[in-house]
Structure 1
């Protein structure tokens, strides 16, 4: 068994393409993924930009991701990039992880529109929502943002946020931690103390860790 952690960056479909927007509101403009072996050791990386077909890169997307139009020009469209991703995964039994289900929903919508012959069950049978697994392990009722999950682990983000490969690499750190129950419980116990305070000690920890208090507030909003 191999394990792939994926992250996507998207760009909105331009409003002039009204019929397209009824099928999908965004297009993938970057794939980023890492593959872990059976021991959850990273063994390969995958990254590619994708030229959108229904509009240019929006300014706010460039501000968020750093992706400019000239970076995707001539890089190939979704059908080519997605096939490269599937080929990179290969024939070996593989589970695919993402933080939330938004990425698989995007891939399925775009495949149905641009690759109608592709069987999206290929994605469904392999996909795991790591965010939900993480939240369930902690007994949380609200979804935890990736940056908060990493902060709770005291994990220093590697690379630049909102770049697909960096997000995938950092998400994989959570997957790796979750393979060791004892280490996971020890690492996350301060978070549980803050989110579910039982005594004055938890409040004292909160005073020393304002980021965790902000996390608690975000979850309660």
Structure 2
């Protein structure tokens, strides 16, 4: 089994377009991915800026991602970039992985709105792995963790700048590999200590609350 770890970066679609032409809030501006082989080694990567049809890169998105209008101006449209990504994926025995389900949902929404149909998408979506949910189960928590939190908790030093599609895909791949292959999953010692203190404090508080109360 191979794994393609994917991360999308997006910009905001102005409300004027969302009324009549594109009903979703975000539009893709970058597709980044790394391919892991059967031994969880990175053997290939995919990276493409995407020229948005309706959205714009405002100062917030530019500061967050480092992506500028100049970067995407010569990039392919979403349909072409998506086709290139699907062509890049191994023909069989591969599962896509992402941090949260926002990436596959973005592809579903954007492809639908832009009338893009490709038989390969159904297979890709059917086998998609949400690494964020896997991590939450590992922590025995219901809440959703950010990638940055999860990397810190897992004692993994992130590489590169966050919110770059290829960088985030690579960092997610390191975390996913640890989740899948490390039987002795060690957490960051500071987080482990803080979590233990929180549990101990909660146990003390509840015990203290009911101390001296006789229950019939």
* 8 Å Cα contact 1:111-1:118 kept in structure 2: no
Structure-2 residue corresponding to 1:44: 44
What is the alpha-carbon distance in structure 2 between the residues aligned to residue 13 and residue 156 of structure 1? 33
Structure 1 runs of 4+ with >6 Å offset: none
Taking the aligned partners of 1:113 and 1:90, their CA distance within structure 2 comes to: 26
Residue 77 (structure 1) aligned with residue 110 (structure 2): no
| CA separation of 1:165 and 1:25: change in aligned 2, threshold 3 A | same
Coordinate RMSD, CA, aligned: 1.9
Aligned equivalents of 1:5 and 1:114: distance in 2? 24
TM normalised by structure 1 equals 0.83
TM-score relative to the length of structure 2: 0.84
Kept in 2, the 8 Å contact 1:135–1:141? The answer is yes
User: Which has the larger Rg?
Assistant: 2
Taking the TM superposition and a 5 Å limit, the aligned residue runs for 1:108-119 are 108-119=108-119
Q: Is the 8 A contact 1:31 1:46 kept in 2?
A: yes
Unaligned runs of 5+ in 2: 202-216
SS in 2 for 1:16: helix
Q: Does the Cα contact within 8 Å between 2:22 and 2:54 map onto a contact in 1? A: no
Aligned-pair CA distance for 1:123: 3.0
CA contact (8 A) 1:79 1:115 kept: no
Alignment of 1:64-213 (within 5 A): 64-119=64-119, 120-184=121-185, 186-187=186-187, 191=191, 194-195=194-195, 197=197, 198-199=199-200
- Stretch deviating more after TM superposition (116-125 or 168-177): 116-125
**Distance in 2 separating the partners of 1:7 and 1:111:** 16
Q: Distance in 2 between matches of 1:159 and 1:101?
A: 23
When the two structures are aligned, how many residues end up with a matched partner?
A: 198
